[in-house]
Amino acid sequence: MTMASAYDFVSNLSPAQICQLFYVLSAAAVLAVAAVPDRAQQLLTQYGARSSKAAVPPAAISGPNDTSQDLRYGDPGCLIRCVSCLTSVGKIPHAWFIHFYILSLACTTFWAAQFITRGTVLQLIVENQCSKRTSSMTLSQVILVWFLMGLQGARRLYEYLAVLRPSSSSMWIIHWFLGNAFYLCTSISIWVEGSGSIRCSGEDCPGIQLPPFKSVIASLVFLIAWLMQYQCHRYLAGLEKYSLPEDGLFRYLVCPHYTCECLLYLSLAVTAAPEGQLYNQTLVCAVLFVSVNLGVTANGTKLWYCERFGNQVQGKWKMIPIVF
């Protein structure tokens, strides 16, 4: 495919399809990382506590002359050296995660202002989306999902400011860029399939009505997952450093806070389903990315727990009961 044909392909996509493409390609990139050898994958994906040398079991931080590690992981080779060199550049504080939630709230505020004032940026996206003649959410659904996404961003920001303990660990800057891109894209995805209702004005267009029953039920599921995730984060914040969480949902799942995150976005996808559809196609693509991204992290978390705590986590699901 030439650059010209690639440009033509992208230019013919609707804003919703561009968001969907971002999620799918990002999920594919995460899966590609998950397919590389274990040692390279650890360098590419681990951050926070698991990236700290103090948190790594002795077998994983043995010296350069320790052959037991090479027997386990295989000869590092050129790939490991290249990945190690690559990830050593652009290390940033893990505390920069807070930028995701600042950006999420800023985007929620920006799009609300654009909606109230019929701003140029919003109208440009709406007109482009409407030109593709796709089905639309109702205006009440648009407002509802806007509110729910803002609620999630506000809670996560509060957690970073008032609940979670400061961390001295670091992460690769690519994680930071990808996280910010996700929240920026999601701030558009939650309303873009409601462009028809946003565009509509005048007596022939319906006003704000009660959202569909399906959206109300999905919103309740969102609020339950929202509360459960907060409880998980508060529990984790109160644990002794590098200890094994075993209370509440952690008795059955290694990463129940990730389970809640997936459920949050899945419920948003149902809440924002256009008329005649079971779910919002753009937000389902967001669910795909969230599930893949957190699934890879949950897998690494269980492996780390197994190395540190042995059989205590063997019977637990990683993230999704029965499935994973």
**Model confidence over 14-49: pLDDT tens digits?**
999 999 999 999 999 999 988 877 776 666 766 655
The residue-averaged pLDDT of 98-109 equals 97
For the segment 184-193, what is each residue's pLDDT rounded down to a tens digit?
Answer: 999 999 999 9
Reported in sequence order, the residue ranges of 57-130 that DSSP labels E, i.e. its strands, are 91-93
DSSP 8-class letter at 318: S
How high is the pLDDT of residue 180?
97
What are the DSSP calls for 128-181, one per residue?
HHHTT------HHHHHHHHHHHHHHHHHHHHIIIIISPP---EEEHHHHHHHHH
The residue type of 101 is Y
Average pLDDT over every residue of 315-321:
94
Q: Using pLDDT thresholds of 50, 70 and 90, give the confidence band for residue 61.
A: very low
What would the mean pLDDT of 102-113 be, rounded to a whole number? 97
Q: What is the pLDDT of residue 69?
A: 39
Q: In this predicted model, what pLDDT tens digit does every residue of 4-14 receive, in sequence order?
A: 777 777 888 99
